[in-house]
């Protein structure tokens, strides 16, 4: 049990009672910004869910802190000379949490599940896969319909997470109620909007690197409250803190802070063809979307909301990325230009509903955007929603404009393809342009980075014109933990990896 300064004891006691879960020795309590959606790698899409998966579900490959692809369940791999097949050699000392073996047949089952489960969101990520066969007990050969430079990076995320075939076969689409994987921690319980509990898996293949016995994930949307819980000792580690929290973190000698630039973006999704709610001027006329974009001062948002820790953005890739299209730099705010576009579209003033997560930083940001675009002729009605609810509304097309984040991926394909291709697994805007599809599908097949970039540049030019997604900023991840926590390493993907993490308190 932690020891706290006397001034914090009363608050901590109240918080412990509120969670209904007393702290225990060698337990790590982690504050999340959101409550994850369904805990099934094939069905889920939330950032918070990926953090939980990092503890529960090992992947075929992982990322290093330098965003290089490294072994995890696959020990090594090799593409054929024509890049149309990929051979993965697998660890032979892995078991799932239910005691069943991890082997080539398990990999075959998982990839086929990702491709065929009706609820799967991984289909577009693995669209290049033709067949998967066992070429040894611990070796699989993946035949591709065409070369796919993005595939290994897909296997470093949810598409590469291995669930127990036995558990998945029994549960079907309900696997998220009792997730069974092969990671360092086993799923124990979940109480929606309250907590997720996992415990150390004794038979984990890398058990010596796991120093914590139990992890409790606590969704706390308000960053200020997350920080207060961290300061009080109710939390050991808090993720995705707000830039405005940094001075308080640095002023507290008991806390350690980490800031790392992320791979993703914050954006506005525009409903252009996802059901009846798309049948609005902003959904049907790109000039209206262009006007909305011109009315936003991205540099001001970075300073006002993110204290300068975020970079202004207008593409799926940040300006410091090698994939960024420099022919389209982040534009300055142009209210008169926005008004002219609205006038050209025959509009004087337009009412728009904009939904966003119910976190303070998102609410503040959207209030600033609301004020900015009002000067150009947009009357924005804000709707704050719990994040999982917002994503469900997005998927269903029950929105006009929606503010959301994407955490980014190591390969550029992972930050753009599934959002803007006609059959993309997370294409909530309903956008469909055959030319964009052809460009992004072709980019997957190329191993030459320069040739790939030419295709991404062409696709970006179209997307900046049509604006199914209005990119705003590229955020940094701010994590803080109690000084007693050691061994934590921040990663640009924002995940909380627990290998060699200890808690001395």
The reported pLDDT for the residue numbered 25 is 58
The reported pLDDT for the residue numbered 320 is 85
Of 18-32, 209-223, 386-400, the one with minimum mean pLDDT is 18-32
Q: What is the DSSP string of 402-445?
A: EEEEE---SSGGGGTHHHHSTT-TT-TT----HHHHHHHHHHHT
Q: How confident is the model at residue 152 (pLDDT cuts 50, 70, 90)?
A: very high
CATH number of 61-168: 3.90.76.10
The pLDDT of 337-360, averaged and rounded, is 97
Q: What is the DSSP letter of 149?
A: T
Measuring CA to CA, which residue among 208, 114, 226, 227 is closest to residue 168?
114
The reported pLDDT for the residue numbered 4 is 37
Alpha helices per DSSP H over 97-201: 104-116, 151-155, 165-171
The reported pLDDT for the residue numbered 22 is 53
Measuring CA to CA, which residue among 494, 8, 23, 393 is closest to residue 218?
23
The reported pLDDT for the residue numbered 11 is 40
Quick: pLDDT tens for 452-472: 999 999 999 999 999 999 999
Residue 371 CA to residue 356 CA, distance in Å, equals 15
265-474 shares the fold of 6-33+184-262+477-503: no
Domain-by-domain residue ranges, the chain? 6-33+184-262+477-503, 61-168, 265-474
State how beta strands 85-90 and 129-136 pair: unpaired
Fold of 265-474: Dipeptide-binding Protein; domain 3 (3.10.105)
Quick: pLDDT tens for 65-108: 989 999 999 999 999 999 999 999 999 999 999 999 999 999 99
The reported pLDDT for the residue numbered 19 is 47
Percent of the chain with pLDDT over 90: 92
Distances (CA, A) of 331 to 214, 334, 458: 48, 8, 18
Q: Are 446 and 236 spatial neighbours (Cβ–Cβ below 8 Å)? A: no
Measuring CA to CA, which residue among 208, 111, 214 is closest to residue 168?
111
Model's pTM, two decimal places?
Answer: 0.82
The pLDDT of 337-354, averaged and rounded, is 98
Residue 276 CA to residue 280 CA, distance in Å, equals 9
The reported pLDDT for the residue numbered 144 is 97
Residue 252 CA to residue 148 CA, distance in Å, equals 48
Q: Which residues contact 336 (CB under 8 A, 6 or more apart)?
A: none
Residue 16 has pLDDT above 60, yes or no: no
Quick: pLDDT tens for 361-386: 999 999 999 999 999 999 999 999 99
Residue 249 has pLDDT above 90, yes or no: yes
The pLDDT of 285-306, averaged and rounded, is 97
The residue among 37 and 2 whose pLDDT is bigger is 37
Say which CATH architecture domain 6-33+184-262+477-503 belongs to. 3-Layer(aba) Sandwich (3.40)
Quick: pLDDT tens for 29-56: 999 999 999 999 999 999 999 999 999 9
Secondary structure of residue 46 in the 3-state scheme = coil
Residue 409 has pLDDT above 70, yes or no: yes
Q: What is the DSSP letter of 101?
A: B
Q: Considering the chain, what is the average pLDDT of its residues?
A: 94
The pLDDT of 245-266, averaged and rounded, is 95
Q: How confident is the model at residue 23 (pLDDT cuts 50, 70, 90)?
A: low
Percent of the chain with pLDDT over 70: 95
The pLDDT of 429-435, averaged and rounded, is 98
């Amino acid at each position: 049990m932690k020891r706290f300064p006397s001034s914090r004891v009363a608050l901590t006691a109240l918080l412990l009672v509120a969670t209904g879960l007393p702290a225990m020795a060698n337990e790590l309590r982690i504050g999340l910004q959101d409550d994850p959606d369904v805990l099934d790698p094939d069905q889920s899409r939330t950032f918070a869910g990926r953090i939980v998966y990092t503890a529960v579900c090992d992947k075929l490959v992982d990322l290093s802190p330098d965003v290089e692809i490294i072994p995890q369940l696959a020990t090594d791999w090799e593409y054929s000379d024509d890049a149309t097949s990929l051979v993965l050699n697998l660890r032979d000392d892995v078991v799932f949490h239910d005691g069943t073996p991890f082997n080539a047949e398990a990999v075959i089952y998982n990839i086929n599940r990702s491709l065929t489960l009706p609820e799967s969101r991984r289909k577009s990520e693995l669209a290049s896969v033709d067949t998967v066969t066992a070429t040894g007990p611990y070796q699989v050969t993946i035949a591709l319909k065409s070369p796919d430079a993005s595939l290994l990076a897909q296997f470093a995320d949810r598409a590469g997470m291995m669930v127990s075939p036995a558990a998945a076969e029994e549960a079907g689409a309900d696997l998220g109620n009792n997730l069974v994987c092969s990671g360092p921690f086993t799923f124990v319980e979940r109480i929606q909007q309250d907590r997720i509990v996992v415990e150390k898996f004794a038979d984990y293949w890398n058990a010596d690197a796991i120093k914590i016995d139990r992890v409790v994930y606590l969704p706390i949307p308000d960053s200020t409250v997350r920080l207060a819980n961290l300061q009080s000792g109710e939390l050991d580690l808090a993720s995705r803190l707000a830039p405005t929290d940094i001075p308080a973190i640095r002023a507290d000698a008991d806390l350690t802070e980490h800031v790392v630039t992320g791979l993703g973006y914050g954006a506005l999704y525009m409903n252009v063809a996802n059901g009846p709610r798309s049948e609005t001027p902003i959904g049907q006329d790109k000039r209206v979307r262009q006007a909305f974009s011109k009315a936003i001062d991205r540099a001001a948002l970075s300073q006002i909301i993110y204290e300068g820790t975020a970079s202004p953005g207008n593409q799926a890739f940040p300006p410091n990325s090698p994939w960024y299209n420099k022919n389209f730099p982040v534009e300055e705010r142009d209210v008169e230009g926005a008004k002219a576009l609205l006038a050209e579209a025959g509009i004087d003033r337009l009412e728009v509903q904009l939904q966003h997560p119910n976190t303070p930083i998102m609410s503040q940001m959207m209030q600033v955007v609301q004020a900015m675009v009002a000067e150009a002729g947009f009357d924005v009605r804000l709707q704050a929603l719990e994040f999982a609810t917002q994503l469900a509304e997005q998927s269903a097309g029950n929105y006009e404009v929606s503010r959301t984040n994407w955490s980014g991926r190591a390969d550029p394909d992972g930050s753009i393809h599934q959002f803007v291709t006609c059959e993309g697994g997370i294409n909530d805007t309903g956008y469909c342009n055959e030319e964009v599809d052809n460009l992004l599908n072709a980019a997957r097949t190329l191993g030459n980075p320069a040739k790939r970039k030419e295709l991404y540049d062409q696709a970006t030019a179209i997307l900046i014109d049509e604006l199914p997604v209005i990119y705003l900023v590229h955020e940094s991840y701010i994590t803080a933990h109690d000084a007693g926590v050691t061994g934590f390493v921040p990663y640009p993907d924002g995940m909380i990896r627990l290998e060699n993490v200890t808690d001395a308190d």
